[in-house]
Amino acid sequence: MGLRRDWSITAVEDTPCAEVVRRRVTVDEDTSVLSYLSGALSLPVTPAFTSPAGYICHASSALWQEALTHRNAVWIDMMTDRRPTTNKRLGEDGKWGLPVEVGMSQKLILWLAYAYHAFADVPFIIKGDDDSYLKVPQFLSDVRYVMSGMESRQPPPPPRDWESGELAESRVAGGSSIMGGDGRNSWRAPLLADQAECVYWGSLRHHLHTQFNAGMLFMLHRRVVQALLEPKSNENRLDIARLAAEDFTKKWVAAYQRIMFHHEDILMGLQIYGALPRVKELCPHGRLWYVKEWYARFHDIHVGRTHNVTWSTVVAHRCRPSDAYYLHYYFREEYREAAAASRYATAEEHEAAAGQRAAEWVTAMQSDPLMKSLNWSGLPDVKWGRNCSQCPPFSVTEGDGVAVYENRYEYWTHEATSVHDGYRSLPQW
């Protein structure tokens, strides 16, 4: 595979490939081809298999750079998105048409099936839209807190040294941190798959007789996924795994609509509701916890159920590429800006000064060859000033440099929709 000239800085939305060529590589008897490839590309792991270069060239230069920089992307090319049958465009509200919307459910189910089998020791599987920004350190801290029974909020784990595979020492700055008996920051190892409580976590919405999590982002315990993917003993229930594996066909339109297969998030809620007895059989403690996040934490930007981005935002939906960069800048700076509020005579003056610094950052980004092609107009509304006396304590992650807040959750049930065990985050506005 030959790369085109300046592939990393020009036409990053296009393929990096100029041509595909064959090259024979000789390795010794003790080195497999996959091991050689791992070393040649400086990969942190040995690939399980390779894909023909022709398929790799279908990815854009920007996606290549992201994958090679962060090394946290898994490419799954099980299916191709179908063409919309409506006039909806990216970032707009509305519908794409039945073939596309069925395809979204198919991709979700195929992802759950892949993740369930490929990561056998992982307790939780997350689904998120490609236009959702997730403040990862905050979400993981919330998960650790709730899954520990809300006994204590552990500080963020230290960054991992990918060369040695070990955790580096942690430095927790700002706010409050939880210390071990020896005065060092304590960190609890992750739960094993068969020890963790079963959860269905996200922005819960009400649909008919049950609850579902909005498709922007939700998390499932692997035993819940297992219950969804198992062959159905009731012949009257459609097998969603089979529907996901088959191509879209008009003869199944009534079936798609009957089980809400054209709304992947509602589909998940209904399927979990229908499988609750089996879910409880599989789960370690015979129960499923519904964890509900309020709109101040999981919300839309630009269109939909919009909310200003604030210190409490964890998931921002309907992001453009430039929005994601801007939000990361915001989360790295918002707690510093809040600490500087006393320097200004009024809250308005403080907000204006922080906004000016953000505008200067945007100008600098627009001069970056890799960033100037993005649309930097109409960035999300963010709120810099806040009443720190009402904010929970926080720690700053060493790797990302963002504040992780010790927000609280309360016990919650909703018997009308069969939520017998649940938690919800306290409103944060």
What does the pLDDT look like over 148-158, one tens digit per residue?
Answer: 888 888 777 67
- Cα separation, 72 vs 399, whole angstroms: 15
152 and 18 housed in the same domain: no
Looking at the DSSP assignment, which residues form a beta bridge with residue 173? Answer: 396
Final residue in a domain of this structure, among 45, 70, 95: 70
157, 232, 261, 374, 419 from 221: Cα distances, Å: 21, 19, 21, 36, 16
With b meaning 16 or more CB within 10 Å and e meaning fewer, what string describes 368-379? eeebebbebeeb
Residue 81 domain flag: no
Domain that holds residue 32: 2-70
Residue 76 domain flag: no
The predicted-structure confidence for 298-342, as pLDDT tens digits, reads as follows: 999 999 999 999 999 999 999 999 999 999 999 999 999 999 998
- Cα separation, 108 vs 131, whole angstroms: 15
Of all residues in the chain, the percent with pLDDT exceeding 70 is 76
28 and 116 housed in the same domain: no
Final residue in a domain of this structure, among 38, 70, 102: 70
- Cα separation, 99 vs 19, whole angstroms: 33
225, 235, 241, 374 from 278: Cα distances, Å: 11, 16, 16, 47
The predicted pLDDT at position 15 comes to 82
Q: CB-side exposure of 427: number of CA atoms within 13 Å?
A: 1
| Residue from 77, 81, 104, 83 nearest 243 by CA | 104
Token representation of residue 355: 């906004």
28 and 163 housed in the same domain: no
Residue 233 domain flag: yes
| Residue from 208, 223, 224, 218 nearest 258 by CA | 208
61 and 111 housed in the same domain: no
282 and 317 housed in the same domain: yes
The predicted pLDDT at position 173 comes to 33
- Cα separation, 126 vs 113, whole angstroms: 12
The predicted-structure confidence for 161-214, as pLDDT tens digits, reads as follows: 645 555 554 333 333 333 333 333 444 555 677 788 999 999 999 998 999 999
Number of helices (H) and strands (E) in the chain: give both, helices first: 12, 15
Instruction: Look up the pTM and report it.
Output: 0.80
- Cα separation, 26 vs 323, whole angstroms: 46
228 and 361 housed in the same domain: yes
The predicted-structure confidence for 380-415, as pLDDT tens digits, reads as follows: 999 998 766 678 899 999 888 999 999 999 999 999
Positive or negative torsion for Cα 4, 5, 8, 13? negative
Q: Are 201 and 219 in contact (CB under 8 A)?
A: yes
Return mean pLDDT, the chain. 83
The predicted pLDDT at position 33 comes to 62
- Cα separation, 327 vs 308, whole angstroms: 11
Positive or negative torsion for Cα 303, 309, 312, 313? positive
The predicted-structure confidence for 33-89, as pLDDT tens digits, reads as follows: 667 666 665 555 565 555 555 556 777 887 777 777 777 777 666 666 767 777 666
Query: Checking DSSP bridges between strand 288-292 and strand 132-134, what pairing results, if any?
Result: unpaired
The predicted pLDDT at position 9 comes to 78
**Alpha-carbon dihedral of residues 377, 72, 220, 148, nearest 10 degrees?**
-100
Mean pLDDT score, 348-356: 95
With b meaning 16 or more CB within 10 Å and e meaning fewer, what string describes 312-343? bbbbbbbbbebbbbbbebbbebbbebbeebee
30 and 119 housed in the same domain: no
Final residue in a domain of this structure, among 37, 70, 103: 70
At residue 47, φ and ψ (nearest 5 deg) are -60, 150
265 and 289 housed in the same domain: yes
Residue 80 domain flag: no
Q: What is the CA radius of gyration of the chain?
A: 23
Token representation of residue 120: 């056998």
- Cα separation, 284 vs 102, whole angstroms: 33
166 and 238 housed in the same domain: yes
Residue 75 domain flag: no
Helix, strand, coil abundance in the chain, percent, nearest 5: 35, 15, 50
The predicted pLDDT at position 20 comes to 56
Dihedral class, residue 244 (left if φ above 0, else alpha if ψ from -120 to 50, else beta): alpha
Cite the DSSP H helix spans in 71-135.
98-118
Structural domains counted in the chain: 2
341 and 390 housed in the same domain: yes
Residue 336 domain flag: yes
Residue 169 domain flag: yes
61 and 184 housed in the same domain: no
242 and 361 housed in the same domain: yes
Residue 227 domain flag: yes
Q: What is the DSSP letter of 191?
A: P
